[in-house]
Amino acid sequence: MAESPEAVGRPLPRSGARRLAFGRGKYTDDLRFPGLLHLAFVRSPHAHARIVKIDPAPALAAVPNARVFTGADIARVCGPWRGKVDNLPTLVSPPQHVVAVDRVAWQGEPVAAVTASSRAEAEDAAAEVVVGWEPLPVAAVRDRTLDADATPVHPDLGTNLSYATAIRAGDPDAALAEAAHTVEGRFSFARHTGVPLEPRAVIADYDPGEGTLTVHGSHQAPWHQQDTLSRHLGIPEHLVRVVTPDIGGGFGIKLHIYGEEIAVSAVARILGRPVKYVADRMESFVSDVQARDQSVNACMGVDGSGGIRGLSVDALSSFGAYAAYGRPPINEGMMTIMMTGGPYANEHYEGRLRVAFQNKPPSGMYRAVGQPIACAVTEQLVDWAAHAAGVDPVEMRRRNYWSDDACPLRTPGGIGIGRLSLGRCLDRLVAMMDYGALRAEQAALRRSGVHRGIGVATFLEMTSIGPERYGPAGARVSTQDGATVRLEPSGGVRCVTSVIEIGQGTHATLAQIVADCLGVAPQDVAVVGGDTSLTPYGGGAWASRGLTIGGEAVWRAAQGLRRNVLELAGSILQVDPAHLDLAGGAVCDRATGEARITLAEIGRIGHFRHDTLPPGVQPELAVTRHYVPDAVPFALANGVQGSSLEVDAETGEVRLLDHWVVEDCGRIVNPLLVEEQIRGGVVQGIGGALFEECRYDGEGQMLNASFADYLVPMAAEMPDIHVGHVETPLEGTALGTKGAGEAGTVGAPAAVLLAVNDALRPLGAQVSSLPITPESILRAIAAGGA
């Protein structure tokens, strides 16, 4: 504990006039926030330990302007939370403090916060804080966390099991027993994290005179953050403002509510000073949410011609030390058992899931959330079954897809399917790959001792999640988005949107939609977002929802403004609005295309010359609309990916040669942005397949918490990525779009896994753990030749 209240809670004087920063710039200049303090965290070096004491005296002596806040200090203004889900009453979730109070449960958990005048001073002071520890036993090996003699992560619970559930359809036991061929395997998916280019960052500015809190941060869901700050700090929501400028990558990592971010706001409130915290890269590795971390036992049965007759999966997923707060924390595991087998016609299915605690950072949402695991397991089983039945892998898929006339349907895993284009996507991919020629080349090279592999993987991509998932869960997460579209006096257009820009280019596409509706050029549309005090309420950026939900709101608002402009123009011109149109920045005659009055003139009259309007005319040059998905619970995209690679049997190295993707994301508004989103997703998926892993030892110590040791895919290692499209517009919406941001990540690991095993088949070897490393390939070859 801190030595005295004076060392902890005394508000410090502010220098200079008070100013709040507005707009979308990056806040690197301390002059924007007079009196700004920098914050650093003291973090636990142990994966599990009791906090015996915290002595701030050496820190205060070394850096006189420092202040030290323990978990107990912060708990006085912000209590603990639980990662609960209303419609999952059996989910076990212990309380978690934003800064640990009595005990730490993972290496890197913060135990104190230190402020000072500069970042360097804050870090120096944090290094001097003396913490007394009592190390406790650790549960850090996923597959042993549920053993009878496993150390409980939370002793009060007496177990590491947080949640268990099962899905069952038909009679999978009988179907598997009667199958002509049965294939099975045990799969392991390592823990990894999102490593966005920009780490998590926050500036919290509390005004004690007004009682307002303004938070500038790098976050994907500002309204969710606003709600959490309001409820946990006891500040009325209308007095909390969250500003999220252009975000330097998110990938779901910045979707969550972190204790550090709430602690920064709590400290700002205590001191009455703006406080800044930016995670460095090593901190990010031990404090950002991590993902995947599952083991899956799976079995598939097929008949003599390769028809799928039954499927069973049993997944063990790891939470980490706590259930992530604010969103359903079991989504990674649930998506695995719900999406496995999804593309294929099958009536007999069982999916079992257990979710366990272990002494590692909490796991949470990360690009594609469990779907890459479901895809990899499914597609590897299909490949093995094809080999057992003597059927070509491409033909095997074509025989087993859900037929078009079977849709709409609900899969045995519970996924609602409207319209799919699996067969068309597969045909397009086969043509792009020149599949027959690839197989012929592979056979010729094998005779020369060259081990080429080809993988073809079908995927479903759940996007734009609607209210039926988050509402019943009690998660205070908005599944709507909103937009205001306004005609300016100059004739330009401003679109204020709840959609957050995290590097995916959505704002550019929203400008296209507005421009198309109003007959102006995209460069004449300014798109503004990322400020809860200015923009309509919305969900933010997650689940590939920006265009499907946010774009629909923008389209509706722009259509409303279009009608208002035409009605106003009709009043000015004394013409029936039905005879008018918008094009080229002007109101024109619908029949002849002749320009009658410019939008600039409409803006001038509508804003400044009401005296010239006919009696009773009320200009409405700004329109706000919201959109909640109501046609379907989510927009299901689909597609197929292909991988061609070469395995060096002497070194175990994998050389990627080519990668293909054909995706159906509904109507495409901006082909360039869609294709680059898909390519980026493929690269991230390849990272999980071949490179990325958060490695821990048996004591819960992360062994590779830097880019010197944590491998990410680099440009020189990536193949050419060829992208093709099939368009099946989403029914019940105006735009017909579906999400595309996670498609590459869903299917790429499966395609690479299949291609590696295809290359290894002549050697009698196979791998089933990701990432696939040279060491794992050499072990598989040695085992295959034994």
pLDDT per position as a tens digit, 334-357: 999 999 999 999 999 999 999 999
Alpha carbons 737 and 553: distance in angstroms, whole number: 13
For residue 5, cis peptide bond before it (omega within 30 degrees of 0): no
Alpha carbons 738 and 771: distance in angstroms, whole number: 29
Per-residue pLDDT band at 264 (split at 50, 70, 90) = very high
- Judged by average pLDDT, the poorest of 61-70, 81-90, 121-130 is 81-90
Alpha carbons 133 and 394: distance in angstroms, whole number: 58
Alpha carbons 2 and 68: distance in angstroms, whole number: 7
Tell me the one-letter amino acid at 237: E
21 has a pLDDT exceeding 50: no
Tell me the two tokens of residue 626. 């919201």
What is the gyration radius of the CA atoms in the chain, in angstroms? 28
Tell me the one-letter amino acid at 110: P
Question: Which residue reads 């500038």 in tokens?
Answer: 216
Burial 184-203 (b: 16+ CB within 10 A, else e): eeebbbbbbbbbbebbbbbb
Mean pLDDT within 575-581:
97
Per-residue pLDDT band at 2 (split at 50, 70, 90) = very low
Helix axes 435-446, 422-433, angle to 10 degrees: 50
pLDDT of residue 18: 30
Q: Tens digits of per-residue pLDDT, 502-553?
A: 989 999 999 999 999 999 999 999 999 999 999 999 999 999 999 999 999 9
- Sign of the Cα torsion 188, 336, 390, 772 reads negative
pLDDT of residue 14: 34
Per-residue pLDDT band at 84 (split at 50, 70, 90) = confident
Strands of 576-702 (E only): list them.
580-583, 586-589, 595-598, 622-627, 635-647, 654-664
Higher pLDDT, 632 or 676: 676
Tell me the two tokens of residue 131. 């913490």
* 216 Cβ contact partners less than 8 Å away, ≥ 6 residues apart: 21, 27, 202, 203, 205, 243, 244, 245
Alpha helices in 648-731 (DSSP H): 671-686
Tell me the two tokens of residue 120. 């360097």
pLDDT of residue 785: 67
Alpha carbons 540 and 501: distance in angstroms, whole number: 9
pLDDT of residue 631: 61
19 has a pLDDT exceeding 50: no
25 has a pLDDT exceeding 70: no
Per-residue pLDDT band at 30 (split at 50, 70, 90) = low
Q: Tens digits of per-residue pLDDT, 283-305?
A: 999 999 999 999 999 999 999 99
Mean pLDDT within 611-615:
94
Mean pLDDT within 244-260:
92
Mean pLDDT within 720-738:
96
89 has a pLDDT exceeding 60: yes
Q: Kindly state the greatest CA–CA separation across the chain.
A: 93
Q: What percent of the chain has pLDDT over 90?
A: 90
Q: Tens digits of per-residue pLDDT, 372-382?
A: 999 999 999 99
Spatial contact of 183 and 385, defined as CB atoms under 8 Å apart: yes
Q: Among 40, 99, 43, which residue's Cα sits nearest to residue 232?
A: 99
- Sign of the Cα torsion 311, 356, 339, 191 reads negative
Q: Tens digits of per-residue pLDDT, 449-479?
A: 999 999 999 999 999 998 888 888 888 999 9
Burial 208-219 (b: 16+ CB within 10 A, else e): eeeebbbbbbbb
327 has a pLDDT exceeding 90: no
325 has a pLDDT exceeding 60: yes
614 has a pLDDT exceeding 80: yes
Per-residue pLDDT band at 31 (split at 50, 70, 90) = low
Per-residue pLDDT band at 20 (split at 50, 70, 90) = very low
pLDDT averaged over every residue in the chain:
93
pLDDT of residue 4: 35
Per-residue pLDDT band at 12 (split at 50, 70, 90) = very low
pLDDT of residue 603: 97
pTM higher than 0.85: yes
Q: Tens digits of per-residue pLDDT, 668-724?
A: 999 999 999 999 999 999 999 999 999 999 999 999 999 999 999 999 999 999 999
Alpha carbons 125 and 172: distance in angstroms, whole number: 61
28 has a pLDDT exceeding 60: no
pLDDT of residue 3: 35
* 98 Cβ contact partners less than 8 Å away, ≥ 6 residues apart: 71, 74, 75, 78, 80, 81, 232, 259, 260, 262, 263, 266
8 has a pLDDT exceeding 50: no
Give Cα separations from 494 to 126, 487, 529, 607 (angstroms): 46, 7, 11, 15
pLDDT of residue 632: 67
Per-residue pLDDT band at 404 (split at 50, 70, 90) = confident
- Judged by average pLDDT, the poorest of 25-34, 285-294, 759-768 is 25-34
For 442, the 3-state DSSP assignment is helix
Question: Which residue reads 């499927």 in tokens?
Answer: 311
